[in-house]
Amino acid sequence: MPKPRKPNPDSLADTPSSKERRAQDHLMNVMGAQHLKGQLTSPQANSEVLQTISFLEKFGDELEGSIELFAPNPVVRMALHLVRAHLEGKVVTPTSLIGASHVPYATANRRIKDMIEAGLIEQRPRTKTGRTFSLHPSETLLEQWLQFSERTRRLAEAHFVGTQSKADRDYFFGGSYMAAQAIPPLQVLPQPLTVPGGIRVLVHGDPTFMVMENLKRHFEQVIGTEIHQRAFSIDRLRDEAIRNAERSSSRYDILAFDLPWVGEFAERRILMPLDEAMDVARLDPADFHTAGWKAAHWGGRPFGVPAQTTPELLFYRKDLFAAAGLEPPATTDRLLEAARHFHDPKRGRYGIAWNAARGTALGHTVLMTMADFGQPILDLPKIAGGFDADALAEGGYRPTFDTERGLQAAEYLKELLYYSPPDILSMSWYERVRPYASGKVAIAYGYTLLAPYFELDESSPARGQTGFLPHPAGPDAQPVATVGGYAMGIPANLPKDRIQAAVEALIVFTSPEAQKLYIQNGSRTNPRYSVASDPDVRSASTIFEAVDEMSWRDELQFWPRPPVPEICDIFKICGEEFHDMLRGVLTPREAIQRTQSRVDKMFDH
């Protein structure tokens, strides 16, 4: 078995602590062991579609070896080879396809020509001269294959597995893949992207983008050119994006950005408005979770395509809650009661883990906790479902930390300390979910992208025992799942001759087919309704159905972290003042007052 790939230390080095670095490495190793073996091995090992291919290949071997006069069917053999190679991201040449046919060269060559003329095979130039080609299954062949696979499954069910349960029948020979809502595999572009040096991408060093990196060879087959991906931690990613905007010409064709940065990146011309570069309708905007799509806008214009919608949720151990006779906590009071019940430091068990490390990490927690108590951090107008953050580009907003609800949020964070692990004040991002995955805590706040920590780790006691909720609400407030994650946009200083290739690659990377592929390889983020309804996706984790339902209930919101240009400084101020509060240097009231004063001064300049 190939050794799981570890992230580049230079790419992911800018984390708050070496402990968090180890947590990131652990997550990458878990995902690597389960899904990311440097190639597309896991989907192929588990995909029902490829099980059908393997069955037919072996069945053909049996027929050809058992009956002396039985002749191989070269069209079937070559179709199987093409579809398998397409799903595995492997190059198919005429020579390799002829070798898979099991017939003489001349016969196989004639059948290849027949398949090209019938529109079953697409040829793609491999060199500038156009003299050599790679071969790919056309959309027609893929559709016909899926129909054939469905019929094969039904025949097998009817004759061999008629007594099995419905669940087993649905799994056998790719049933879920063939369902009406099933998203097909990625299709290669009709024309390869011709761009010097390949497509260059700047991303965040999180599990979803690491999945993309491990699928690089497959995506290179799809777009027809090399992909060079560079990954940074959150703060270094922002710094590099800003530096890149100061260059005369962008080093990157596509860059990923945290959703709250959109206002700053739009105002500073770090990103190009998407409607300047493309027909936005090609993205199918209605398919994206509403909050995630709106969060990528500034001044009514889209500046990015959601690549991962990963709301921060509450993870809780369903088995422990059931054994204790406790209901899932829908309010902050109930959450504190549950955390108090499970907190047992003498046995090395703690109630809850969360983002409390000084700086950016705690800053995000403060804003989301304010929202849990119904308090936006800016004077946003109230609307049905929350607050209106669509008109922020018009300006005129003021900070609103020093309020009664803001004080309640601060006091709540202070009380959480009593039921948290002893190292809580250094916990951030990955570190907070690690003790949850190991069984040391019963509850944790965490983004969905962190779910692989326990969902892909067979040794985790939280695996298969985790429930997912929006943040519990404070008094007279509504549950909120703050939309997080990253969008992908086009740098404003990208040379004109590279924009079209960047657009085509961006569409591929954020397509439903790509999103499904990320999930099959371990990602637990998804920005699209169509992907959440895919049966394979739903079978991968209950988290997708849970998030989908939150979106329909209007619980997915982006107003808790309003994407104003000042947002990163706000995170920093909150992360400093509230950390002093948690250390006992400030009272909760002093923390909100000092935060209000510092943000006011920042806005006044």
In terms of domains, do 148 and 249 share one?
no
Rounded average pLDDT over 454-473: 95
| 113: number of Cβ within 10 Å | 11
Q: Is 598 helix (H, G, I), strand (E, B) or coil?
A: helix
SS3 category, 576: helix
> In this structure, are strands 350-353 and 441-447 parallel, antiparallel, or unpaired?
parallel
Q: Parallel, antiparallel, or unpaired: how do β-strands 199-204 and 227-232 relate?
A: parallel
> In this structure, are 476 and 366 located in the same domain?
yes
**How confident is the model at residue 406, as a pLDDT?**
97
- Domain limit, last residue, from 178, 212, 231: 178
Concatenate the DSSP letters of all residues of 161-182 into one string.
-TTS-HHHHHHTTSTGGGSTTP
Whether 468 and 546 have beta carbons less than 8 Å apart is answered as yes
* Residue 243 sits in the same domain as residue 374: no
Residue 24 forms part of a structural domain: no
Q: Examine residue 56 and state whether it is found in any structural domain, yes or no.
A: yes
Q: Tokens in use for 412? A: 């709540």
> Which tens digit of pLDDT belongs to each residue from 538-553?
989 999 989 988 988 8
Q: Count CB neighbours of 127 within 10 A.
A: 8
Q: How many domains does the chain have?
A: 3
215 phi, psi to nearest 5 deg: -95, 15
| 357 in the same domain as 468 | yes
Q: Are residue 334 and residue 431 in the same domain, yes or no? A: yes
Rounded distance, CA 435 to CA 433, Å?
6
401 & 457 share domain: yes
Q: Which two tokens stand for residue 168?
A: 């087993």
**Lowest-confidence pick of 58-62, 318-322, 514-518:** 58-62
Question: Between these two residues, 14 and 531, which has the higher pLDDT value?
Answer: 531
In whole numbers, what is the pLDDT of the chain averaged over residues? Answer: 86
Query: Could you tell me the two tokens for 398?
Result: 């003021």
Asked if residue 184 belongs to a domain, the reply is no
Q: Beta-carbon neighbour count of residue 44 at 10 Å? A: 18
Q: Which two tokens stand for residue 302?
A: 């889209």
Q: At residue 145, does pLDDT exceed 70?
A: yes
* Whether residue 466 sits in one domain with residue 342: yes
**Within this chain, do residues 240 and 348 fall inside the same structural domain, yes or no?**
no
Q: What is the pLDDT of residues 466-482, one digit of tens each?
A: 999 999 999 999 999 99
| Structural domain boundaries, residue 276 | 29-36+189-309+484-524
CATH of the domain at 47: 1.10.10.10
Any idea what the CATH number is for the domain that residue 225 is in? 3.40.190.10
Please check whether residue 219 is in contact with residue 227, taking contact to mean a CB–CB distance below 8 angstroms: yes
d(CA 188, CA 99): 22
Query: Does residue 329 sit in the same domain as residue 456?
Result: yes
Higher pLDDT, 57 or 418: 418
Tell me the CB-side half-sphere exposure of residue 242, using CA atoms within 13 A.
12
> For residues 285 and 507, is the Cβ–Cβ distance under 8 A?
no
The reply to whether 126 falls in a domain is yes
Written as six digits, the tokens of 525 are: 């983020």
Stated as kind and residue range, the H or E segment containing 147 is helix 139-160
Question: Does residue 334 carry a pLDDT above 50?
Answer: yes
7-35 residue pLDDT tens:
343 333 344 445 555 555 555 555 554 44
Written as one string, the DSSP assignment of 445-456 is: EEEGGGTHHHHS
Cβ contacts of residue 595 below 8 Å, gap of 6+?
A: 366, 399, 401, 402, 573, 574, 577, 578
> Does 491 lie in the same domain as 443?
no
Q: Which of 178, 202, 218 is the last residue of a domain?
A: 178
- Are 256 and 129 members of one domain? no
Q: Looking at the domain assignment, is residue 296 inside a domain? A: yes
Backbone dihedral angles phi then psi of residue 486, each to the nearest 5 degrees:
-125, 145
More confident residue, 472 or 210: 472
Region 99-119: mean pLDDT is 87
Apex 77 CA angle, 76 and 82, nearest 5? 95
Question: Which of 468, 498, 524 is a domain's end point?
Answer: 524
Cα–Cα distance, 571 to 585 (Å, whole number): 19
Indicate whether 71 and 163 sit together in one domain.
Answer: yes
pLDDT tens-digit readout, 227-279: 999 999 888 999 999 999 999 999 999 999 999 999 999 999 999 999 999 99
Quote the percentage of the chain above a pLDDT of 70. Answer: 83
Q: Among 205, 221, 236, 243, which Cα is nearest to 88's?
A: 221
Confidence of residue 598 (pLDDT cuts 50, 70, 90): very high
- Token couple for 351: 């109630």
Residues across the chain: 605
284 found inside a domain? yes
Q: Which helix (H) or strand (E) holds 566?
A: none
Give the angle subtended at the CA of 483 by the CAs of 216 and 262, to the nearest 5°.
75
Q: Give the separation between CA 440 and CA 348, rounded to whole angstroms.
A: 7
Structural domain includes residue 542: no
DSSP classification of residue 154: H
Domain-located, residue 540: no
Q: Where do the DSSP E strands lie in 118-157?
A: 121-125, 133-137
